[in-house]
Structure formats: C-alpha cells, structure tokens
Structure 1
Amino acid sequence: MQKVNVCLIGSGRAGMIHAHNYSKSVPRGAIVAVCDPVAATAQAAAAELGISKWYQDYREVLLDREVDAVLIACPTKYHREIAVAAAGAKKHIFCEKPMAMNVAECDEMIAAADQNGVKLQIGFMRRFDESFREAKKMIEEGEIGEIVLVKSQTRGPSKPKEWMFDIAKSNGPLAEVNSHDIDTLRWLTGSEVKRVFAIGGNFRNKEVANTYPDFYDNVIMNMEFENGMQGCIDGAMYVQYGYDARVEILGTDGVICIGDMHEKKLLTCTRHQAMKRPTMHSWTYLFKDAYIAEDISFVNAILDNTPVAVSGFDGKMAVYVVKAGNQSIVEKKIIELIK
C-alpha cells in the first residue's frame, strides 16, 4: 500500500475538515468516498470534495475494496457499532471524540481493532497543536519545575443541538465540549485521574429546563491525579462571545499559558476612546493545522506500521472521566475512579 484511501462516515463540520485535509494536505492519504444517511448531504459532500463515490449505509462502505480506512465523525451513539464492523472488515479506524457512550463500548472497539490487526486512533487534535506540543516539551525538560496544577477551559459559542440536551444520549458538555480538556490534562500531567468533583448548571438554555432537567451548559470539574497533581476544567456551551480554549500549567518554578481569546493580531482604537479586537470565532480556525497533523499521523501509523499517537485507551479514559463527572454532578459528591 502506497497511499491510504479513506471514506468519511458522517459529513458534518468536523468530518469535512478531515475530508478536505485528505483531499489536499495529507501526502500519503486520499479521500475516496463519503457516507451519510441523508442522501442529499452525502451527494453534496462528495461534490464539494470533487469525488464521485458516496454512500448512505456504512455497511456498503465496508464492502468497498478501494477503502482502506474509515473516518468516523457521526454522533457518538453510533461509534461503537461502526468501529467494530469496520475492524471486522479489516478497515483502519480514525474515530472522532468522544470515542463512545461508555467504557464498555470503548473496550469493544479496542478489542475489535486488536483482534483484526487494524489501527484505531482517536481524534484529540490538541496533542498535535504546535503550542501544546511545545508546552509538553517544556514540562518534560523541567522548565517550570514540578507540575502542581493544570487548568483547561473550553467555551463554545454555538447553541446546543436538540439531541445534546438529553444527557443520556449525549453525555452532556463534559463529553461534547470538554473531552479535549480531559485528554489534555491526562497528557500534560502524565497521569490518570484519581478522583473528581463536578458541578453543573443550565444558565443559557433555560427554555429546556422542564423537558431536560439534568441538562447543564456550564460545568466546573476539579480533579486529583494519581501522581498527586491537580486539575481543573471549565466548560461552557452557547457563550456567544466566541470560541475560547485556553490552558494554564502551574509549576513549582513558573507557569505556562497556552492560547488567548483573540483570532487575529488586530487592535482597533477609535475617536470614542474605545478599543476593539476580534475574538476567536471557531475551533475550526484555531486548530486548523493540528487537524492536518493528526490526519498525517494516522496515515503514517498505517503505512509505517507504528503505534498511533492517540490510542483507543486514551479515548476510553476520557469517557471514563466524563461518566464520573456526570455522576458527581447528579450525586453532588466526590467520585473515586477505580483502577
């Protein structure tokens, strides 16, 4: 195999970012087909990508001998079913986060990939971002001493989709928004989460409070890691002011800050003594290069037969922490994560 031919399953925003990368920015990969249950959506995606092959049923994709790998970017509740079937068809798997609905589903996906000798990579693209990678290097070199606390926040401007309001179907903002933060903290601390305490509330979508009383659009989760380090996650949906993803790493001898609220190095001052600077509008812009890097990494792992950079175990542990956080919100107590 000289090049990895990929089929996108689920042609929403995240999926199409990957698809466009494979069409022009991944030298050893190519997008050859798309799959979406809505025919018009699948056709439109194929046309946008300049390819002719599209499917409505993922099972037909798995019969296509031209397809070497699938890129799963559909709603989380379908991830396990598609990934297990893809592994059985000897297709390599890139799965967007969250990996699955629960730990048991993650275990099934990991086992299926192992048993069939295919790669399984999870879409935590922040590990491929230049600033995050530099921060990781600085930590390893001891530039700020011993790590004490890692704080990570992600706040998104979009109003939640209807299915997101049902925590049983979406696992809530901790999964949809903060999976990246959870993985970032595991990666930067080099440790697993020992215990969590989380609080959540619905502040911006109060019209759904009666129908979805458990829904929260704002969450704070404190964590203690097995190595003694501390963590804090701040998540929010529908903040409207912009996309806001930042990290602070506090050490015994210093601090590392990643990210800011600004999209461009542009500042306007007017005769009204007002200052204006545009905020970051979307994660698609902020992590554009990181998406390309993770797609290249996935293809290289297949062609060079090397371990993937972000494993199924990484995806599983993020799901584990999400479930513990949601339990903490409901039960209003500290939740211990059992090894």
Structure 2
Amino acid sequence: MAPDIVNVCVIGAGRAGMIHAANFRKSVPYARLAAFADPNREAAEQAARSLEVDKVYTDYRDALADESIHAVVVVTPTVYHREIVVAAAAAGKHVLCEKPMAMNEAECKEMIEACERGGVKLQLAFMRRFDESFRDAKRQIEAGAIGDVVMVKSLTRGPSTPMPWMYDIRKSNGPLAEVNSHDIDTLRWFAGSEIAEVHAAGGNFRCPDIREEFPDFYDTVAMTARFADGKLGSIDGAMGVQYGYDSRVEILGTEGVIYLGQTHERTIVTARRDKTLQRPFMNSWRSLFKEAYLAEDSDFIACIREDRTPAVTGYDGMMAVRIVEAGNASLARGELVRLAD
C-alpha cells in the first residue's frame, strides 16, 4: 500500500536536482522532500539549508538504507545511473531517473529488470512530455488535425560550454546524449514509431583547446532518421551557442504542420531609434520547461499512490539510449547505421 505522503530523497544537488527538490519541497501534492544525497558534502548541506531539509547523506547507499524514504530522484552524471537505480530498486525505493537513462542499452535493461524485481516504479525524466503545448500537439496529432505525420524535426541548442567530463565521449556519450536525448524521445513520441536507421554528422567548432586530447568530441551535431513505418525525422543539437537556450519542434503532416517552442523569455519588445527591435532571448531550460518539471514530478508521485505505470517508462529511456549509441556509431564511421529490430 502506498504511503499517504511520499518521502523523497534527491540524489544529486546540482541544477536539475534543485529543480526537482524545490518542487517536492513546495508544490507537489502528497510528497515531502526528506533528504539530499551528494558526495560533495558542502553542496548537499547548502541545498538542504536552502530548502529547509534536515537529512543529508554523502553516500547514496546510506539514503537507501533509510526506511523512512519511499522514493528517489537520480540526478547524477549518467555513468552512475545504473548503479544507483539498481541499488534503489533492491532497497524498495521508487525511482525517477533523469536522462540520459544510462551509458548503453545493456545498462538500461538491467535497470528495468531490477525495478521489475523490486516491484517499484521507474519513471524517466523526459519532462517535455508533460509540457502543456507538447501534450496539446500530441492530442492534435491523434485527432488528425494535420493528417498523417510525415516528418518530425526537433532541435536543442544550449548556451553553456561543456563540463570537462563531457569531452570524453566514452564517459558522456556526447551531446547526442547530454543535449539531444529529449529530442530523440520527442521524435519517437510524436511519430508513434521506432527509429529504424540514422545518419549523423558533427564537429567541434567552439572548443578548439581540447581537439588534440579529445579528437572525437563534437559540440554540434545533425542527425537524420527514418522510422520503421517510413516517417522521417531530424535532430539538430549544439552546446555553447552563447545566444541563449533554443528548443523548437516542427511536426509536418499530410494536411498541415505544428510548430512548438518559443525563443523569447519575456513578452517585452523594444523598438529602438535605430529602427531595430530588441527582445530578450530564452535564457535557460529551467525557464522554458518550469511547469513541465512540476507536472512530471507530480505525476511521479501520483503513479506511486495510484499504483499505475508511469507515462514515461524505462523502455522509453532505453530506446533513446539505443538511438544515441547508433548516432555516435554513425558519427564515428561516417555512414548510415541501421538498428536491429
């Protein structure tokens, strides 16, 4: 039987972790932010103070041993996801895992199986599926508003320069994983089909200092896809673009098109005496998808209390990782990669 109030521990006190934590602390019904876990004690304690949380752990295993905690949010570097999720499942904790789900498909399968054995929920944090505009687009597609979907295009470009650990593709899986996992899931969701083949090209245009040490790193990528049912897809991703946070989607049908996304953070437009218009560009994903994060976190708790399958499952996370692996293989070989059925 689900508890009346679900006690949540956030594992990882970084930027995304703090978004989830603030939601559980203040805004998610039937949830309570009970603890932080982070190997950096100073970061964990600062996060706890800012949200008035008493419990702090520097070892996530100690948090899992706490019987008062019912669920965890895993917001660590991807390389640690499998280990933490498998351990959480064994401890009987429900799991909301940030993207990318894991480093490879085999790790994803292990995580899914562990959660099935443990009888716990496993939800993947593709928060765009909880954005009201994205949901409206899905409803319109299903209602036939644009006829049959022909092509889905999705782009994400971030302003931040890569963190040092991201330069090693073997540790980060590159921007296709760190930036474009959401786009991959978006393509699958709106197309309603699985990707059958991909071709990717990329380059390092903004990080010249690391080219010699990390020759495989790319900060910009373009990937085309063909779905099993013949639909087409494309993804455009970049890191360190400087101009702002840019996330847009175009869904082309036989009888129309749907556009998603906005490039402006505020509605103010200034007309200057030099006859130019000035409008602030979107600054961060934290602003653009603020409400989607809250809806995602709220649905996670509802899944636990209602004992239902999450809207975004471990399978969805695994399929995105499969496409990341195929895209990176295409980049490395310079050729089309076909995915196994």
TM bin, normalised by shorter chain, reads over 0.9
Percent identical among aligned pairs is: 57
Q: 1:70 aligns with which of 69, 72, 86?
A: 72
Q: 1:233 aligns with which of 232, 235, 250?
A: 235
Task: Give the corresponding residue for 1:259.
Answer: 261
Which deviates more, 326-335 or 265-274? 265-274
Give 4+ residue runs of structure 1 displaced > 4 Å after superposition: none
Task: Give the corresponding residue for 1:195.
Answer: 197
- Pairwise CA distance, 1:275: 1.2
Distance in 1, matches of 2:46 and 2:305, equals 30
Distance in 2, matches of 1:98 and 1:300, equals 23
Aligned positions of 1:248-287 closer than 5 A: 248-287=250-289
Aligned positions of 1:115-194 closer than 5 A: 115-194=117-196
- Pairwise CA distance, 1:330: 0.5
The code of the aligned residue for 1:267 comes to: V
- Pairwise CA distance, 1:130: 0.5
- Pairwise CA distance, 1:265: 1.2
Spell out, residue by residue over 1:88-109, the C-alpha distance to the aligned partner (whole angstroms, 9 max, x if none): 0000011000000000000000
Query: SS in structure 2 opposite 1:98?
Result: coil
Q: Does residue 53 of structure 1 match 2:55?
A: yes
Aligned positions of 1:62-101 closer than 5 A: 62-101=64-103
Query: SS in structure 2 opposite 1:8?
Result: strand
Distance in 2, matches of 1:113 and 1:305, equals 14
Q: TM-score, normalised by structure 1?
A: 0.99
The code of the aligned residue for 1:49 comes to: L
- Pairwise CA distance, 1:84: 0.3
Structure 1: state its 5+ residue gaps.
Answer: none
Distance in 2, matches of 1:267 and 1:121, equals 39
Q: 2:16 aligns with which of 5, 8, 14?
A: 14
Task: Give the corresponding residue for 2:115.
Answer: 113
Distance in 2, matches of 1:76 and 1:139, equals 33
Query: SS in structure 2 opposite 1:23?
Result: helix
The code of the aligned residue for 1:70 comes to: V
Q: Does residue 305 of structure 1 match 2:307?
A: yes
The code of the aligned residue for 2:159 comes to: P
Distance in 1, matches of 2:210 and 2:87, equals 36
Distance in 1, matches of 2:309 and 2:241, equals 38
Task: Give the corresponding residue for 1:224.
Answer: 226
Task: Give the corresponding residue for 1:295.
Answer: 297
- Pairwise CA distance, 1:30: 1.1
Distance in 1, matches of 2:11 and 2:210, equals 30
- Pairwise CA distance, 1:260: 2.0
Query: SS in structure 1 opposite 2:308?
Result: coil
Distance in 1, matches of 2:314 and 2:46, equals 31
Query: SS in structure 1 opposite 2:298?
Result: helix
Task: Give the corresponding residue for 1:4.
Answer: 6
RMSD: 0.5
- Pairwise CA distance, 1:272: 1.8
- Pairwise CA distance, 1:227: 1.3
- Pairwise CA distance, 1:206: 1.2
